Structure 1
Amino acid sequence: MQRILIAASTLFGRNGFQRTSMADIAREAGIARATLYLRFSEKRAVFEALAAALVDEALKAAEAAWDDAAPLSKNLAETMLAKELMFFRILRNSPHGAEMMDLQAEISPTQAQRLGDGYGALLARRGHEAAEGGADLSTFGGADGFAAFLVKSGSGLKYEMHTEEELREGVVRLSKVAARAAGRN
């Protein structure tokens, strides 16, 4: 299955979704078309599986980025970058990146929702932990508002920045502002 997803990711990035066929995916994966069709009934199902794998990877990376010994601003930046850089690279490193991001919402709204919910819940949990440690999240309306602010702001940066360096700088600034508003560094 991993070979199929890698092949699909490569081809969708190189040729776009519309110009990639199931035969192309099978050939790139080094398997017979019949074998591909045993796993996936159509190209949209391959895309859905690829989206699910990316969501899993993004959520796992965002969770793992937190360091209990680090200051809040650094943890927020690392957590947001762990998620946002993955999708920024898809968006910016392929001539079909914007198409892929649009298709994720169209073809796999369940995965887009799962990413949003999972990431928001992760940041809300971290917000609750920060509040228990003395952070004042009243400016944001509490931990859930803190999480919503970071999710929307971080996602917006991904679309507005043109290079990874700009994205990193923007996320670091956003993290510092959020941590300072919470009375933390």
Structure 2
Amino acid sequence: MTESLADRIFGAALLLFGRHGFQRTSMADIAKAAGIARATLYLRFADKRALFEGLAASLVDQALADAAAAADREKAELASTVQAIVMAKELRFFKIINGAPHGAELLAVDTELTARHVARLDKEYIDILTRFGRYAEERGADLSAFGGPAGFANFLATAGAGLKHEVRDEAAYREAVQRLARVTARAARR
């Protein structure tokens, strides 16, 4: 399966923005890294700001699709499903923050560009977790310690997001998410 043009552009943009920062990365740099002509890049994106907004939307779409797929695991136990959902949404952002010299800067670049994407990510992720919480209750989980499925969703969203800022390497992050999932599952037992 070949990589789409949009994937090549977004991959190059993410790499270069992370390596050099938003301000120091040019459209010419991105076109070169994507292996396309600048004119081709400008046919898709009017400017660097539009490209960055497209990249943000793409990252949000991927995170939500992966989290929704992880939540649809029929017979998996609560702890492993919680871990899979949190990792599906948060791991890519952890890697962005910690994987490049300017990674953390990318999540803060011009919040007006990304604010609506972040709001959509937060809302739809909470919706995924709430639906999963209802499903877990139907299968016998007791979410009263969280205040029900909505509280369960808010707890996991907040805790999962916070963990990516507390550890510095992927192994420690994975371990922290695994602990969060185990604690959450214990709290949900009858």
Query: Considering the TM-score relative to the shorter chain, is it more than 0.5?
Result: yes
1:37 aligned to which of 33, 39, 42 = 42
The equivalent of 2:3 in structure 1 is: none
8 Å contact kept, 1:84–1:158:
yes
2:61 aligned to which of 49, 52, 56 = 56
Note the aligned Cα RMSD (angstroms). 1.5
Deviation by residue 1:28-70 (Cα, 9 ceiling, x = unmatched) = 2222222222211111110111111111111111122242211
8 Å contact kept, 1:104–1:112:
no
Query: How high is the TM-score relative to the length of structure 2?
Result: 0.91
More displaced 10-residue stretch of structure 1: 135-144 or 90-99: 135-144
Deviation at 1:105, TM superposition (A): 3.9
Deviation at 1:106, TM superposition (A): 4.2
Structure 1: runs of 5 or more not aligned: none
Deviation at 1:85, TM superposition (A): 1.0
The equivalent of 1:101 in structure 2 is: 107
1:178 aligned to which of 166, 170, 184 = 184
Count, aligned residues: 184
Amino acid at match of 1:76: V
The equivalent of 1:156 in structure 2 is: 162
Amino acid at match of 2:146: F
8 Å contact kept, 1:51–1:104:
no
2:97 is the alignment partner of 1:91: yes
Deviation at 1:97, TM superposition (A): 0.8
State how far apart, in whole Å, the 2-side matches of 1:42 and 1:10 are: 17
Structure 2: runs of 5 or more not aligned: 1-5
CA shift in 2, pair 1:68/1:76, >3 Å: same
Amino acid at match of 2:123: D
